[in-house]
Chains A and B, each alone.
Chain A
C-alpha cells in the first residue's frame, strides 16, 4: 500500500465523488440459483457476487459431527472477474478468505440444530471491485438464511480504511490499492459482536477507533437491505 496518488480531492471528497463516510450502492436478490437450497446475489458498487447454499448429510460418515453441523464456505473467483485473468482454482489468498468467511458464518449458525449436517456455501465472484470478502460474507449470510438454516443473526460485513491520511468508509479499488490501510470487519447487528476482523497497513489506535465507529454506523443500513431481500421473496411467494 503506497500513497503516491491523490485519493481525496481538495473539497474533501473521494475520487468517485463519495463523502468520507459514504457507502457505495448495494443491491441484494435471493433465489437466483434454482438447484440450490438457498442463494443470493449481491451488487455492491461494481462487485457482482453470487452465493449458493446446499444443506446435506455430511459425507463420508466419519466426517460427521454427531452433535452439530459442519460449515464450509468456498470463495472462488471467475477467470474474467479481475484485471488480469484469474486461473481457475483456489490460491493462498482465496483459501484464507474462505477460512475467515467460514468462521464468521459458523459463529452465527445455530450448529446444534443441524447435527450430522454439512452446510456448503459456494461463493462465486463474477466481478471484483474492492471489498469482495465482506460483500461475499454479506450475501452468503442471506443465502444461508434463504436455505432455512437457523441463525442467531445475519452477518453484516463492511470495510473502512485510510486514504491520504483520512479514515474512509467502504474502500474503492483505488483506495484499496493505493491507500494506507484496509480493515474488513463483520458483525452480528443485534449484539454488535465482531465475527470477522482483519487489518493490514498502518493505523494508530485512535484511527482504528474512528474506523470501527464509521463501520458500526453503516451496519444498520446494510442489515436492512439484507432483510428486505429476504422479505421481498416471501412477499412474492405470498402473492402467488
Chain B
C-alpha cells in the first residue's frame, strides 16, 4: 500500500466524516470507561476503543438501507452505521428515551431504521441474520448488502461457519467481517484457533478471504470497498479479517492479567487508528490539523452533553415491562 492508498476515492468531506466517526466512538467509549468506574452504569459494557477504524472503514461504504449485524461489542458499529449516539447513551443508562426505550441496554442496541440489526448478547448470533438480509435483497431485487461483525472467538461458533456456507450456496451479498483482537475474554486466539489467519477459512466456502490491518482506516476502507462492490454487483459473499487490538478489558471490570505488560500502551503508541489517520491525511496535505482538532473539540462537547442528559433522563415507567410483546396470559 502506498502512503494513502484508498484515500484517493475519498472526498475531503468523507475524510472528515470518517475521522469524526472514529473520534465519536473513541470518546463515547473512553467516557463510558470513566463513568462505569463510578458505578452508575448498569450491566455489562464491552468497549470498542482501539477498533474504530474497522467500523468506520466498512460503514463508509454502506447506505442507510444496507444492514449490519453486530456483537456484544457493538457501540462502534452502531455509531458508524448512523445510530444516534445520544439515544445510545440514554439506552446504556437504561432510560425511557434510549434507542430501545431502555429495554435493550448496551448489549442490544439496535435501530432497524438505520439498518442496524442489533448488538447481540449471543456470540455468533449475527451472521445468520445477515444471510437473511442478503436473501431479502436478492429476492426483492434491490442492491442492498449486509455485513456481519464477529470476533476471533466468535469465529469458532458453529453459526458463523454455517452462515459462510449458506451465503456461498445462495450467492448472497453478504460480507463477514472478523475482528481479530487476539482475545476472546481472557483466552488467546493463539489457543482458540491456533493463531491462524481466520480469513483463510474463506477458501473452504468458495469465497475470497483477506486479512487487513484493522488499525489502518485506509486498508480497511479499501478491502471493504472491494468486497462490498463485488457483493452489490452479484459477485457473492466475502470474508475479511481485521487484525486489531482492544484498549480496555473484555468488559468493564476486567483486570486483564492475561495480557502482557504494556501490551496496550505499545499499541496505543504505535498503531492507534486515530493517530495513524491523522498522520496520513495531514502529511499528505488532504486535511489540516486544525480541522481535526476542531472535530475533537466538537465531539468532546457532544459526548459530554450525551452523558449529562442521559444521567438526568427519566427511567422507563412500570407499564413498559409488558409492552412490545404479546401477552399470552
A and B are partners in one complex rather than unrelated chains: no
Query: What is the interface of chain B, defined by CB distance below 8 A to chain A?
Result: none
